[in-house]
A and B are shown apart, each in its own frame.
Chain A
Amino acid sequence: MSTRTLVSPLALARPRGKAVYWTVFSGVVLLFALAFLFPVYWMVTGAMKSPDEVTRTPPTLVPDHWHLSGYTDAWDLMDLPTHLWNTVVQAAGAWILQLVFCTAAAYALSKLKPAFGKVILGGILATLMVPAQALVVPKYLTVADLPLIHTSLLNSPLGIWLPAVANAFNLYLLKRFFDQIPRDVLEAAEIDGAGKLRTLWSIVLPMSRPVLGVVSIFALVAVWQDFLWPLMVFSDTDKQPISVALVQLSQNIQLTVLIAAMVIASIPMVVMFLVFQRHIIAGISAGSTKG
C-alpha cells in the first residue's frame, strides 16, 4: 500500500470500488487456485487412487479410498532411491564445483588483474550469446571423448559437473559483485599479511553471502530441472537422474505408480522453494529491474 498504482485509493474507498475490488480479488484467488494449485492437488491425490479409479470417467474429486501403495510401489518398483541419490550427487557436485571454480575465476578477473584478463572475460561473456541447447551435440562429442586425454565422461557425474562450471551468467554475477568491493579493504588485508587465497576466503566470501546464495540456488535448480543433457550423458539406467528415469520408465508402469513417482520427484525442489521463497522471489524481481 506504499505507493499508488493504476487504481487510486480514493476510487477503492468508495462502496462501488470496494465491491469491484472484492469481486476481482475473489475471482483471482479462485482462478489461481484452479490454474496452479489444482493440478498439483490432482497429482498428489491421483497417486492415492486405486488403478481403476484413476481412469474412471467422470473422475472423482476425492479418492474413494486412500491408498499409499502408489507411493511405496513407486519407491520400490521404479528404484527411486537410486535415481534421487544420483540427482543429489549430480546437483551437489555441480553446485560445489561451480562455487569453487567460478568464484576463484571471478575473483581473479575482478581483483588480481591477470594478463589478457579482458580477453578472457570477453570470451566468457561471448558464451552468453550462445544458447546452451544449440550446442548440446558438439558438447556431447567433447564429453564422450575429451581432447588430448581421450577419456569419456559419459555415464559419469563428471559429465554433469564440469560442463556446469562453464556458466557465464553465474561467473559474471560474481565478478560484478566482487567489483563493488573496495580495493582498500583487500589492500588492508594484504598489509595485515593475508595472502590472496586468505583474502578471498576470509574477506571477499563473507561479504558476498547474498550473491553466493543466488548463485547456489540457480546452480541447484538448473541441474535438478535439466533433462536433455542428462538424457544424453547417461545411457546407464542405474546412473540416470530422476528426470531421465521418469521418462524412460513412464512407458510400462501403472499410471498411479508413475504419478506417485512424479510427486516424489517434485518434492525436493518444491520444498526448497517454500523454504527459500523470499530469497528466490526477491532474486528474480531484483535481477530483472536491474537488467
Chain B
Amino acid sequence: MKTASKPPATFPPAAVGVPEGTRSAGRRPGGPWRRRLADQSRAYAFLIGGVLCFALFSWYPAIRAVVIAFQKYTPGSGGEWAGTANFTRVFHDPEFTAAWRNTLTFTLIALLIGFAVPFVMALVLNELRHAKAFFRVVVYLPVMIPPVVSALLWKWFYDPGAGLANEALRFLHLPTSNWSNGADTALVSLVIVATWANLGGTVLIYLAALQSIPGELYEAAELDGASLLQRIRHVTIPQTRFIILMLMLLQIIATMQVFTEPFVITGGGPEDKTVTVLYLIYKYAFLYNDFGGACALSVMLLVLLSAFSALYLRFTRSEGEDA
C-alpha cells in the first residue's frame, strides 16, 4: 500500500518537454472551449454516481439533522419550527443524564482496559520469536466474528446460572458476580465484551509500530545501563507516542457510539445503567416516534465526536507529512 507499483516498462515513453494541453490541442478537432466542455462533462460522468450518493446519504442527512433538531417532526408531514423545544424536552428526560454518564464512563473504562491491555500484549508479542503467525491470527479472530455474535456469546457467558463467567470464578474459588445483570457490574461487563471483540486490531497496529523502532536505540540505551522498564519508558513509549495518541482518539470516537452490546446484552438495563447515547437516540426515533428529539440528541453527539475527529485528522495529516 505504501508505494505504487511501478508502471510497466513496455509503455511507449510519453513525449517530454511539451507543455500539457498544447500537445493534445493540435490533435483534436474543435476549439479549446468546446474541448474543455467535453473534458468537463466526461469528468462529471465519472463523478456523478459517487457524488450523488454522498449528497443523498452524507451531506443532506447532516444538514437535515440540524434542521429537524429544531422542528416538530413526524414522518410524512412537514416539520413545524419548534425552537429549542426538542433540546429542552430531551434534556429533562432522566435517561438523558444516565445515557451521557454511561457513555462517558464506558469510554473511560474502555480506554483504561482497551488501551493498556493491547499495548502490553503487543510489547510481549514483539519479543517472542516463535509462532508469530499463530499469535496474529488468534488475536484477530474475535474481530472477524460478527459483533452481534460476540454480544450474544457473552450474554450466554454472563448467564448467572450456567454461564461460563461465573463457572470460571467458582473454579478459581472466587465469589461469583451478577455480571451484565448487576447494577454495578453491567457497564464493565459490556466493556469487557467490546474489548474482547476489538482489541485484535489495536494489537496488530501497535505491533507494526513497535517493529518500526530502530534497534540501535535499544542498544544505545542498554549500553547506557537502562533497565528493561527504563527502555520501555524512554525508548518504546516516545517512539510510539504518535500511534498511541491516534489510537486513543480513534477509540474515543468508536466507543462513544456504542450500541450493539447494550442493545443485545442488557437492553439498557438494569434500571438505566447501560443506556448509551446512541441507544437513547434509537429509542427516541423508534420507540417514541420522536424524530425531533432523536435529531437533537444526534446533533449533540455529532458536535462532540466531530471535535475528536477533527483532532484525529489534523494529527494524521501533520505527522503523515513529516514521515
Decide if B7 touches A288 in the complex (CB within 8 Å).
no
Binding-face segment, A62-70, A74-82, A188-196: A188-196
Which of B2, B58, B131 is in CB contact (< 8 Å) with A286? B2
Decide if B47 touches A6 in the complex (CB within 8 Å).
no
In the complex, what distance in Å separates the CA atom of A138 from the CA atom of B68?
Answer: 8
Decide if A262 touches B152 in the complex (CB within 8 Å).
yes
In the complex, what distance in Å separates the CA atom of A101 from the CA atom of B54?
Answer: 11
Chain B's interface size range is 35 or more
Decide if A247 touches B47 in the complex (CB within 8 Å).
no
- Is A19 in the interface zone, CB < 8 Å from B? no
A interface, over-half SS: helix
Q: Which residues of B contact A37 (CB under 8 A)?
A: 138, 141
Which of A120, A185, A287 is in CB contact (< 8 Å) with B1? A287
Q: In the complex, which residue of chain B has the Cβ closest to the Cβ of A283? A: B1
- Is B319 in the interface zone, CB < 8 Å from A? yes
Q: Which residues of B contact A6 (CB under 8 A)?
A: 123, 126-127, 218, 228, 231-232, 235-236
Decide if A129 touches B47 in the complex (CB within 8 Å).
no
Which of B152, B228, B305 is in CB contact (< 8 Å) with A258? B152
In the complex, what distance in Å separates the CA atom of A284 from the CA atom of B320?
Answer: 16
Decide if B205 touches A284 in the complex (CB within 8 Å).
yes
Which of A134, A168, A244, A265 is in CB contact (< 8 Å) with B302? A134
Which positions in A face B, CB cutoff 8 Å?
1, 3-8, 21, 24-25, 28-29, 32-33, 35-37, 39-40, 42-43, 46, 54-59, 100-102, 104-109, 112-115, 117, 120, 123-124, 127-147, 162-163, 165-166, 168, 171, 177, 180-185, 187-192, 196, 200, 207, 210-211, 214, 221, 224-225, 227-228, 232, 242-244, 246-247, 250, 255, 258-259, 262, 265-266, 269-270, 272-274, 277, 280-281, 283-291
- For the complex with contacts A102-B50, A171-B50, 6 further pairs of A-B residues with Cβ separation under 8 Å are A28-B124, A101-B49, A130-B306, A162-B53, A207-B4, A227-B146
The 8 closest A-B pairs by CB, nearest first: A105-B50, A4-B215, A180-B4, A285-B208, A114-B43, A108-B46, A112-B43, A138-B61
